[in-house]
Amino acid sequence: MDNKLGNPQKTIEIIQKYEFAFQKKFGQNFLIDPHVLEKIIRAAGLTKEDMVLEIGPGIGTMTQYLAEAAGKVIAVEIDTNLIPILGETLKDYSNVTVINEDILKVDIKKLAEEYNGGRPIKVVANLPYYITTPIIMGLFESQVPIDNITVMVQKEVAERMQAGPGTKDYGALSLAVQYYAEPYIVANVPPNCFIPRPNVGSAVIRLTRYEESPVQVVSPKLMFQLIRASFNQRRKTLQNGLNNSPELSFSKEEIARAIEQLGVSPTVRGEALTLKQFADLANIMDNMQK
């Protein structure tokens, strides 16, 4: 198709034709490397049975690839200036619906219901980096039926999502992601694969949603409060971190008892605990409240 994007010349042509001005505040860095685009599509494992949600289609480069691989594509774009461009670049693809909205305000569960009969959807995106965490956590926490999420993010963020205990990248984001999904870094992507070049490295990560989390926790809310308390004060012991948290109201003695019951040293730091240990600790402390 001569309308096919995915290379620097075509992208520049479109940008000039519409006198499009990149908006930094929307995290606009458009992909111009066909190999990277193909890698993303392959990693998402798309079939014609799938409905894909694309966050931030830009000028529609990846949207074209998605439309060819999936059954249906819903693309949500915040920048009104891109809507006429998408009208041209996607005119040959009848299975694409573009929605001009802020993804953080869209009821995605309703979209999945409306366009996919409530069956699990796939999310694919070259994300606007400034809202990576709210987008990913929003998708997990709002009970949207999801099969997998395959996204371009800042390299350091991908590393944090995949990190395990005892590493410098391990933190609240690692645990939150790994509670819901299995992360896998598909590829590292250098700045020269985008226009304009971002000033950070990027990586494609696939998050395969668990049907059932690998850990059993009665109150996920309490577990995430414990996780936040531990990592807000990373250099402190777990005991002090939990004591100092404004979100928690356990006594010093209760916290000490819970850590003892967990079977770890009283001087352990939160960053040494596995997801399973945070879940067990949450269950122990939940019992204390009853």
Least separation, in Å, of the C-beta of 126 and ligand SAM?
Answer: 3
Closest residue to ligand SAM in the complex (CB): 56
Distance in Å, CB of 57 to ligand SAM, minimum = 5
**Residues in CB range of 113: below 8 A, 6 or more apart:** none
Q: How many CB atoms lie within 10 A of CB 49?
A: 10
Q: Give residues 92-151 in contact with ligand SAM (rule: CB under 6 A).
A: 102-104, 126, 128, 131
Output 107 or 247, the one with its CB closest to ligand SAM: 107
Contact 178, 210 (CB under 8 A): no
Binding mask 5-44 for ligand SAM (x = CB under 6 A): ---------------------xxxxxx-------------
Measured from the CB of residue 113, what is the shortest distance to ligand SAM in angstroms? 20
Q: Specify the residue, 56 or 241, whose C-beta has the smaller distance to ligand SAM.
A: 56
Considering only residues 152-171, where is the footprint of ligand SAM by CB under 6 A? Answer: none
DSSP of the chain? -TT---SHHHHHHHHHHTT----GGGT--EE--HHHHHHHHHHHT--TT-EEEEE--TTTHHHHHHHHHSSEEEEEE--GGGHHHHHHHTTT-TTEEEEES-GGGS-HHHHHHHHHTTPPEEEEEE--GGGHHHHHHHHHHTT--EEEEEEEEEHHHHHHHH--TTSTT-SHHHHHHHHHEEEEEEEEE-GGGEESPPSS-EEEEEEEE-SS-SS--S-HHHHHHHHHHHHHTTTSBHHHHHHH-TT----HHHHHHHHHHHTS-TT-BGGG--HHHHHHHHHHHHHHT-
Residue (199 or 249) nearer to ligand SAM, CB: 199
Distance, CA of 69 to CA of 254 (rounded, Å): 54
Minimum distance from residue 135 beta carbon to ligand SAM (Å): 8
User: Cβ of residue 2: shortest distance to ligand SAM, in angstroms?
Assistant: 19
Q: Which of 77, 159, 271, 280 binds ligand SAM (CB under 6 A)?
A: 77
49 interacts with ligand SAM by CB under 6 A: no
Residues 222-241 that bind ligand SAM (CB under 6 A): none
Task: Let me know the angle formed at the C-alpha of 18 by 17 and 19, rounded to the nearest 5 degrees.
Answer: 95
Shortest Cβ distance from residue 129 to ligand SAM (Å)? 7
Q: Does residue number 271 form part of the binding site for ligand SAM (CB under 6 A)?
A: no
CB-wise, 197 or 221, nearer to ligand SAM?
197
Q: Which is nearer to ligand SAM, 75 or 273 (CB)?
A: 75
Pairing verdict, β 121-126 and 51-55: parallel
Minimum Å gap between C-beta 192 and ligand SAM is: 14
Q: Does 281 bind ligand SAM (CB under 6 A)?
A: no
Residue 57 interacts with ligand SAM (CB under 6 A)?
yes
**Least Cβ distance, residue 120 to ligand SAM (angstroms):** 21
Residues that bind ligand SAM (CB under 6 A): 26-31, 55-58, 61-62, 76-79, 102-104, 126, 128, 131
